[in-house]
Amino acid sequence: MIPCVKCQQVETIMKAGFVRGKQRYLCKDCNYFFTLPTGTPTASQPRRRRHQTTIIDIARTLGVSNSTVSRALHGHPDISPETRQQVLDMATQLDYQPNQLAYSLVKSLTNTIGIIVPEFFTPFFPNVIVGVQEVLSRAGYHLIIMQSSESYETEVGNTKAMLANRVDGIIASLSLETNNYDHFEVYEKRGIPVVYFNRVCHELAGPKVVVNDYIGAYKAVEHLIQNGYQRIAHLGGPPNLVISQERLRGYKAALQKYGFDVRPELIIHGDLTQHKARIYGQYLLDMDNPPDAIFAVNDPTAIEILLLAKAKGLLVPEDLGVVGFSDDPIAAHIGNGLTTVKQPTHLMGTMTAEMILRLINEEEEQWKPETKVLEAELVVRGSSVRSRK
């Protein structure tokens, strides 16, 4: 249907002969005659679809068979170097792009890996992704990146989308809400390898790459004790996460090693959000007998505590010692610097990528439920260093 170029009516248009070889139209509604610019598509003249160059086009242009072009493009030894070069030159000239989907269906591989992370608010997961990307790119693999936004339902949707895109393997770090793992077991049943990192679950059999959270937490609390702090609180993460469990275990072990009681009132489980860190941090500082030091589950939580202490008029580290976990870039620049436990994020990414590639290239019977544990480093700054009392 043709709209009138003046009043845009469609139902009142009729043909009214030709002018200089162009179809002339009359709008009976506004009594206006008009023609269409050259090349304007009409209902009787549909817009032509773009044609993507195929192997058939290359073969027809060169006067060779389709199979010759296919073998030449894939470097088959039966094709002479001269013929292969002619095919490659013509492919470039015609802007030929291989049909990756069709090739993937034939080979049952897409050279694509998926990675699911809980969030992008902190630098931790982007830094891991950089390490993953470096290894996969060198190996000729593409990376699909999705985030769960700390939602179990979104994480399930992510895994389904990855499956629909026929990924060769998946790398995953669990959301805060994840307590059911059926969506990952689907991959295991189909023989698609999964490697878990950072936030993992012992119930899942797949290989894992983690940091030694227990030792990292132990070193952090030991450092506070050695600097004279005696009433040390722990603002932890969700109790269902293994990282929370291990950091709490390290906190308790350090206290017991140095003869301190583990006081339940000084242990609070948060949800890793800044909002809850502010609420629980304020609760600790407002206690009748407040802690003189706080070991936080991560740096964003520790930074909230530093801000609360400043607003309350407390001096850091004289009145309150604070240690975080992860070594965010801002940790070195806030106040006198935040003491923290540094995690090897880039190494975690490269090791995870190498592990998934190895599984893809191995027979399923050779897969081993191994766990790689990376060491964490205590980085001492001004938020925790004071003379022993």
Residue 50 lies in a domain: no
Model confidence, pTM: 0.73
The pLDDT of residue 19: 62
Say if residue 229 is in the same domain as residue 334. yes
Q: pLDDT at residue 234 above 80? A: yes
321/219 same-domain check = yes
Whether 93 and 23 map to the same domain: the answer is: no
Q: Domain total for the chain? A: 4
Amino acid at 8: Q
Q: Which of 80, 98, 116 is the last residue of a domain?
A: 98
Question: Roughly how many angstroms between the first and final C-alpha of the chain, as a whole number?
Answer: 89
pLDDT at 43 over 80: no
Q: Which two tokens stand for residue 344?
A: 């090897």
- Proportion of the chain in helix, strand, coil states, percent, rounded to 5: 40, 20, 40
Residues 86, 129, single domain; the answer is: no
pLDDT class of 31 with cuts at 50, 70, 90: confident
Is the confidence at residue 307, as pLDDT, over 80?
yes
What are the Cα distances from residue 174, in Å, to 8, 77, 156, 247?
55, 46, 11, 17
335, 227: one domain: yes
Q: What's the pLDDT band for 337 if we cut at 50, 70, 90?
A: very high
Q: What is the pLDDT of residue 256?
A: 98
On whether both 87 and 135 belong to a single domain, the answer is: no
Which CATH number characterizes residue 79's domain?
1.10.260.40
What's residue 157's pLDDT? 97
Q: Which residue has the higher pLDDT, 132 or 59?
A: 132
Which residue range(s) make up the domain with 91? 55-98
Q: Which one of 13-22, 30-39, 85-94, 362-371 scores highest in mean pLDDT?
A: 85-94
Radius of gyration of the chain (CA): 32
CA 119 to chain centre: 7
pLDDT of residue 389: 47
**The domain spanning residue 358 has which CATH number?**
3.40.50.2300
Band (47; pLDDT cuts 50, 70, 90):
very low
